[in-house]
């Protein structure tokens, strides 16, 4: 069936467009984009989209799936449904499952599970009052990161060439790799394979038992501190290796102002790097930890106010290329502990776009194009992919978003199986209406 979206606000970072248009979609493709479309078939569904936003489907660089091994936190199906509900049409899972994704057989098994769940994306999304509205009849495209080291032990490399041939999106452990000699060999071996490689620079000796960014708030709240140097010294070492070897690298989870400075200098020098931060590091800083809400225990930790400001400026300037969700589900029992004892991480696939829009776009700190670019075309480029412009004859990989619709974050309004978020129980403004995958 064809659909005509009338007077929708088209935000297209590929074409640098932010304007009202009519958009005709049929058979999985964009058929026409114009200021007014009137020549349509009688069976075309006409939708009044005034006040709604249409953009390319969102792309998540890295998140955690509970399955296999931790299905009580998240199944692959609930993960993909949550992603679709949040506007994501492509998602990438980290290899720290159980077993670890370190061999081609497990990659094939996960992709087979994904294919077997096709058509189950039409669970819908709850609007106001708990009523379901159409979401998507298809699930997002699943990308799988292959582990760099066997069982993520950090000592022995996986069979990198075999994993590359298995169809992984790239290589990462999703955890710090502190053996720099091993990192050097990895960069040398990966150069001819043509796959992205992502590292999370963090010196675990400097991190020690810390749970919060070092500063006055950490002293005030009585929590063990983590110095910014735990990140920045590791970034500096990584940049030196990239400069020496030349293999392109993606730097994950940047969380400090000094980290942004180091990356800006490296890019200015022509190093082949990209970088990302997570959505929560753009929204909250150490002052939020006053509540001791365990969903604010993140790794890397929330930054000081100056860190958050630098990360926002870094996104706008293009120093930080992309916003990752780093969706990290945990069960209620795992998170109901003292702040320092609870595992680090929070969910985010269904919350990121509404909250980022509300706090960055509605406040006019970011333009809509800047935010959408950091959540769609830029993450795709970090994965050496492209997203299509919203123009005729292109596939309809799209997200329709209502920035004014309010909803309450609660168990019945979430598709993810976990609830570890500081926004639980709160009213949010902004809701994904539909995705085309």
The residues carrying an active-site annotation are 326
* Cα dihedral 345→83→320→369 (10° resolution): -140
Please tell me the number of Cα atoms within 13 Å of 417 on its side-chain side. Answer: 19
Question: Are the beta carbons of 66 and 110 closer than 8 angstroms?
Answer: no
| Burial class for 250, CB neighbours closer than 10 Å (0-12, 13-18, 19+) | buried
Q: What span, in angstroms and rounded, lies between the C-alpha atoms of 329 and 83? A: 13
User: For residue 341, what are the contacts with CB-CB under 8 A and spacing of at least 6?
Assistant: none
Closest CA to 157 of 126, 136, 187: 187
User: Residue 118, Cα to own-chain centre: how many angstroms?
Assistant: 22
Radius of gyration of the chain (CA): 21
Q: Are 420 and 347 in contact (CB under 8 A)?
A: yes
Distance, CA of 222 to CA of 209 (rounded, Å): 13
How far is the C-alpha of 140 from the C-alpha of 147, rounded, in Å?
22
CA distance 328 to 334: 12
> Rounded to an integer, what distance in angstroms lies between the CA atom of residue 203 and that of residue 229?
8
Query: What token pair was written down for 332?
Result: 């209620």
Task: Kindly give, in sequence order, each residue whose CB lies less than 8 Å from that of residue 99, ignoring residues fewer than 6 positions away.
Answer: 68, 69, 106, 151
Residue identified by tokens 């292959």 is 146
Q: Judging by DSSP bridges, how do beta strands 398-408 and 427-436 pair with one another? A: antiparallel
Compute the distance between CA of residue 110 and CA of residue 114 in angstroms, rounded to an integer. Answer: 6
Dihedral over alpha carbons 75, 79, 81, 82 (to 10 degrees): 130
436 pairs with which residues across the strands? Answer: 398
What is the Cα–Cα distance from 121 to 123, expressed in whole angstroms? 6
Distance of CA 398 to the CA centre of its chain: 16
Phi, psi of 122 (to 5 degrees): -90, 25
């Amino acid at each position: 069936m064809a659909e005509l979206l009338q007077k929708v606000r088209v935000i297209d970072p590929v074409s640098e467009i932010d304007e009202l248009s009519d958009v005709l979609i049929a058979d999985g493709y964009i058929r026409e984009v114009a200021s007014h479309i009137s020549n349509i078939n009688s069976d075309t569904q006409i939708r009044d989209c005034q006040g709604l936003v249409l953009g390319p489907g969102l792309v998540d660089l890295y998140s955690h799936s509970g399955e296999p091994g931790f299905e009580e936190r998240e199944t692959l199906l609930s993960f993909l449904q949550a992603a679709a509900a949040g506007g994501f049409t492509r998602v990438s899972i980290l290899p720290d499952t159980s077993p670890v994704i370190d061999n081609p057989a497990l990659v094939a098994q996960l992709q087979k599970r994904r294919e077997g769940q096709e058509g189950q994306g039409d669970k819908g999304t709850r609007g106001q009052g708990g009523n379901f509205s159409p979401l998507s009849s298809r699930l997002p495209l699943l990308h799988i990161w292959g582990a760099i080291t066997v069982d993520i032990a950090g000592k022995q490399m996986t069979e990198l060439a075999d994993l590359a041939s298995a169809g992984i999106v790239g290589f990462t452990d999703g955890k710090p790799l502190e053996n720099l000699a091993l990192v050097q060999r990895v960069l040398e071996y990966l150069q001819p394979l043509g796959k992205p490689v992502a590292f999370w620079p963090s010196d675990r000796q400097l991190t020690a038992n810390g749970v919060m960014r070092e500063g006055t708030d950490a002293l005030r709240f009585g929590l063990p501190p983590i110095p910014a140097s735990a990140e920045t010294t590791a970034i500096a070492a990584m940049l030196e290796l990239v400069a020496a070897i030349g293999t392109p690298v993606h730097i994950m989870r940047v969380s400090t102002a000094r980290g942004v400075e180091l990356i800006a200098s490296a890019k200015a020098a022509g190093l082949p790097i990209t970088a990302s931060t997570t959505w929560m590091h753009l929204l909250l800083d150490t002052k939020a930890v006053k509540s001791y809400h365990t969903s604010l225990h993140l790794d890397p930790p929330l930054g000081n106010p100056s860190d958050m400001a630098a990360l926002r400026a870094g996104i706008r300037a293009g120093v930080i290329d992309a916003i990752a969700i780093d969706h990290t589900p945990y069960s209620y029992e795992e998170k109901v502990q003292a702040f320092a004892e609870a595992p680090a991480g929070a969910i985010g696939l269904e919350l990121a776009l509404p909250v980022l829009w509300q706090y960055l776009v509605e406040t006019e700190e970011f333009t809509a194009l800047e935010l959408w670019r950091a959540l769609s075309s830029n993450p795709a480029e970090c994965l050496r992919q492209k997203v299509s412009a919203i123009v005729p004859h292109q596939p309809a990989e799209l997200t329709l978003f209502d920035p004014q619709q309010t909803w309450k974050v609660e168990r019945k309004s979430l598709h993810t199986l976990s609830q570890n978020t500081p926004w639980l129980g709160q009213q949010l403004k902004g809701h994904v209406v539909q995705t085309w995958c």
